[in-house]
A and B are shown apart, each in its own frame.
Chain A
Amino acid sequence: MSTNGQNGNNQRHIIGVLVENQPGVLARIAGLFSGRGFNIESLTVAVTNEPGMSRITLVTTGDQHIVEQIIKQLNKLINVIKVIEFRDMEFVEREMALIKVRADKQSRAEILRIVDIFRAKVVDVSPNSYIIEVTGDEGKISAILELLNQFGILELARTGKAAMARGKKEYGRKDKPVKAFEREKEFIDE
């Protein structure tokens, strides 16, 4: 039956996108989201172990209908090789944050205890501040930020998420080239 898919059931979704490492590919993806009014909460991109291929992990919000459109629209981009939706599967997600926190004589010890509990690291020390590196899922990052907030967070740089399915499944195997003439013939003649 025909109903519009706006059921207001907005959820966060993590989507992995394997792309050909071509100029403009990030602009195509960003443009797709802005042009069609989809949200991006975070986006990370870096090269993969396979030459010429990059992996983007993005976090978006929307109901199931919107997320379905996002995935279809991503797949439609010529430079997109594979779209992975992390849903109904076991997966690992991590992000990293660099947090510059005010650290004076009174608070230094307490901050170090928190860093220790979260298995984070102090990567820079100055007379009035620490830079803390922390890795984990979103909940962990939020928790440490909340705790450090009382001391005064001077600066924050977060990477956004990277995600990967558990187990053996591999994505992005190289496909065989298709004889273009044959395919077109198939499509046009018949």
Chain B
Amino acid sequence: MKLTGAQIFFECLKREGVDVIFGYPGGAVLDIYHEMSNHDIKHILVRHEQGAAHAADGYARASGRVGVCLVTSGPGATNTVTGIATAYMDSVPMVVFTGQVPTRLIGNDAFQEVDITGITRPCTKHNYLVKDVRDLARVIREAFYLARSGRPGPVLVDLPKDVIQASTNFIYPETVNLRGYRPTIEPHKGQVQRAAQAIRKAKKPVIYAGGGVIHSESSGELIKLAEMLQIPVTTTLMGLGGFPATLKKGSKEFHPLWMGMLGMHGTYCANMAVSNCDVLFAIGARFDDRVTGKVEAFAPNATIIHIDVDPTSISKSVIVDIPIVGDCKRTLRHLISIFEKEPIQNLDEKRRPWLEQIEDWKKTHPLTYNQNSNIIKPQFVVEKIYELSKGDAVVTTEVGQNQMWTAQFYHFTEPRTLITSGGLGTMGYGFPAAIGAQVARPDKLVIDIAGDGSIQMNIQELITAVCNELPVKVAILNNSYLGMVRQWQELFYSKNYCQTCLSAAPDFVKLAEAYGAVGLRAVTPDEVEPVIKKALETPRPVIMEFVVDKEENVYPMVPAGKPINEMLLV
């Protein structure tokens, strides 16, 4: 039986298990939208294509499934680029379908034509321009396979209008034959043995885990290995939730091996431990410059072991001693079985001095702030959200101070509960991502912790949350500044607060109400708790505005280019 391109599109999506699309219609994709009602698939209509891309990304991060986004040609396509780049930097599985002008017009500067495969080549894992309807099913099959396998990432498929109008016999390919794509999943046995030997000999080991632990679903293995070998753990921003910060959700009873996040705004303990360790075990992390600070001074005395499924991440910025290309989960399982067969002798005795040292670092400079005036401290708000949500929310963030305070003061215990733009640092990410996360996890409380700057970058999606009855909560830490940029100006640009003051701002409560959401405001510290409680009780989208200390800074802070043990402290 012959099917049209549009029909094939939906048949393929069905077979890939897609149940929701985030999208925005337009001329070039009208045939797909015309066909949509014949299929059992949910479509979330956003108000800006960037919102669609971030929502698909948030959906993917919250669920572990491939996020799908559908937009029209030209501006529809270019509006997704920030969202695609965001997903690419953080290895998020996503397939973006863009409309394209009919093939005969490609290259003619037609109305709403743009070379989107050209534009997105450097920020997609791969992309396709489908020129023949007979290739469509194969390309969609490959796109989903590429997006979710190996190191996941976004894949873009550009669909010219005549291709989705044309018909062909529909055959869904059983196999994917990509000659140039064979991700190494199974690690090299010899390298795993070498890693085990190095860990066995270590006196001062540290585990540094990243987003790879979340993507490969290996949090369980990480916990098991760390506990069985008594190795203290730090994670990157992307790795938060991969190792439980606390023993009980919502409590402040910290896991004894948990050191907090490392890097520019990492904890004193984590940064000192990495700087002084003798074995650094990097698991699914990529030695980002926000983590390493001055590269030459990063873990200077350590033998570095690095597991990553992407060979390009290994020895890119920091040369490692024992590289292991492979899936984190498999590699960790091999290591666990090695140490189960042959445990480390006198482990407690061997670890005592190092773990005592770690405890000492934790005590000398814990994360802290002073909530003593009558002005709300932003950290206090995050702590209260943690407490009142019982540590059981899916939290998204925008980018900047709000993001760092969330990372420091909301204690994550499960993977896929912190959703944040780490690599690209995309302001305006958190709110649409929260919408996507809420679609993926309708049972969960989803909170976007935002700043007054970033929330305004995709505020239009408020109506998407309202009309789809997605009860997302937004907590705006309003300091009337682009806080993180202002912090840099204060510390490194002689307090020249050029263009970072946002005192001209909308009334966020009225704005929420105008969109049909609920708006709440807290101005004094004693109003914080009632506002959060009220928000959590409200089964609708809520915007909470917290008027916070204007010039509060994020500490510790490692100035750019300095070694990570040279921190500015509170």
Contacts and interface: CB of A to CB of B under 8 A. Distances in A.
A178 to B, nearest CB: 7
A78 B295 contact: no
B409 interface: no
Given A3-B296, A27-B118, A72 B174 contact: no
Interface residues of A, number: 40
Interface in A54-86: 65, 68-69, 72-73, 75-82
Interface string A13-36: 000000110011001100110010
B302 A2 contact: yes
Nearest to B129: A23
Interface residues on B, range: 35 or more
B317 interface: yes
A7 B175 CA distance: 45
Contact of A174 (B173, B179, B296): B179
B117 A77 contact: no
Contacts of B126: 78
A179 interface: yes
A79 B175 contact: no
B121 A76 contact: no
A90 interface: no
Given A27-B118, A69-B316, A187-B185, A2 B299 contact: yes
Interface stretch (B54-62, B143-151, B205-213, B362-370): B143-151
B27 interface: no
B312 interface: yes
Contacts, number: 100
A186 to B, nearest CB: 7
Contact of A5 (B179, B315, B321, B327): B315
B315 A184 contact: no
B318 interface: yes
B311 interface: yes
A184 B282 CA distance: 25
A24 B319 contact: no
A50 to B, nearest CB: 11
Contacts of A170: none
A1 B177 contact: no
Nearest to B298: A2
A129 B381 CA distance: 82
B327 A187 contact: yes
Interface of B: 117-118, 121-122, 125-126, 129, 141, 145-146, 148-150, 173-182, 185, 295-296, 298-304, 310-312, 314-321, 327, 329-330
